[in-house]
Structure 1
Amino acid sequence: QTLPAKYHLVQVAMSHATAELYCRSEYGSHLASIHSDEDNNAAQQLCFAADIAAQQDFWIGLNDIAQEGVWEWRDGTAFDYGSTVSGGVDPWSTIGSGNGQPNNFNGNEDCVQFTSEYGF
């Protein structure tokens, strides 16, 4: 499914790295970068429109792969939205089992997902 050339929703299980490669090869772009309420709402609406029956998670481009705790987007743009400091939304769920994310479980969590468990 697609919204006006902004985001594509691919419901195929793959790793974050594979999803990034898929975006590059299929669309000539990167995993989603979210810089505003408009971006966030567009991505959420695409997920809601998919009429998901079971819990699903969707990769977005935010990660701290290069340096733990230093968040950046796959396309190289600044992490300027998604924190209470920037006036955006708090990107980490505080509901249910999502409380305390990101927690870098086992020292090996570096990538961010939209998840249907918390309404995206």
Structure 2
Amino acid sequence: GVEYGTDKKLTCMKIITPATTYDQATSLCADSGGYLASVKTVDKLAMVVSLAQGNNLWIGLDDQATEGVYVWQQDFTHLTSTQINDTFTKGEPNNGWNVEDCVHFRGNTGRLNDQHCWDNMLGLCETLPIESTC
């Protein structure tokens, strides 16, 4: 796992295997007491770049409930225009082919992208630390 401190809180992140769909990755993270990671800032994105080592990773953001309204799993807040500018690949999210509802970290660009949810990829889980350690 990796420790990441922000806003005086510490979070723990780990990549889960095997590669699964978005919904399966969500369940695997929940089973370990966490959620697919929130990547809302440039600093956190840089940490994910280091952790991912070129892999594509599911993160906890989707618009499955309402098209165009992206919701973070962690706190159910909506994706902001600042977050899009800071973390997404230029021109994304674009709902390509009208079927891209789940968001992943794209290993080859180091940015976020929307993707169809049935793709299989590794998941990036985030949990709160237990007694200040991961």
Structure 2 length-normalised TM: 0.65
1:19-38 alignment, distance < 5 Å:
19-26=25-32, 28-38=33-43
Cα 1:45–1:90, aligned 2, differ >3 Å: closer, same or farther? closer
8 Å contact 2:58–2:104 — kept in the other structure? yes
Query: What do you get for the CA RMSD once the two structures are aligned?
Result: 2.1
How far does residue 77 in structure 1 lie from its aligned partner after superposition?
A: 3.7
Q: Which residue is equivalent to 2:84? A: 83
How far does residue 90 in structure 1 lie from its aligned partner after superposition?
A: 4.5
Q: Does 1:42 align with 2:47?
A: yes
> Any unmatched runs of 5+ in structure 1?
95-99
- For these two proteins, the number of residue pairs brought into alignment is 102
Cα 1:114–1:16, aligned 2, differ >3 Å: closer, same or farther? same
Cα 1:60–1:39, aligned 2, differ >3 Å: closer, same or farther? same
Alpha-carbon separation, structure 1, partners of 2:14 and 2:87: 23
1:1-120 alignment, distance < 5 Å:
2-4=1-3, 5-26=11-32, 28-48=33-53, 52=54, 56-78=55-77, 79-80=79-80, 82-84=83-85, 89-91=86-88, 93-94=89-90, 100-120=91-111
Q: How big is each residue's C-alpha offset from its partner over 1:43-102, in whole Å with a ceiling of 9 and x where there is no partner?
A: 222113xxx4xxx31100111111100111112342355223xxxx141x23xxxxx433
Alpha-carbon separation, structure 1, partners of 2:108 and 2:42: 20
Alpha-carbon separation, structure 2, partners of 1:117 and 1:61: 19
Q: Following TM superposition, where does structure 1 have runs of at least 4 consecutive aligned residues deviating by more than 3 angstroms?
A: none
Alpha-carbon separation, structure 1, partners of 2:45 and 2:76: 15
Identity of aligned residues (%): 27
Structure 1 length-normalised TM: 0.71
Structure ranking higher in helix proportion? 1
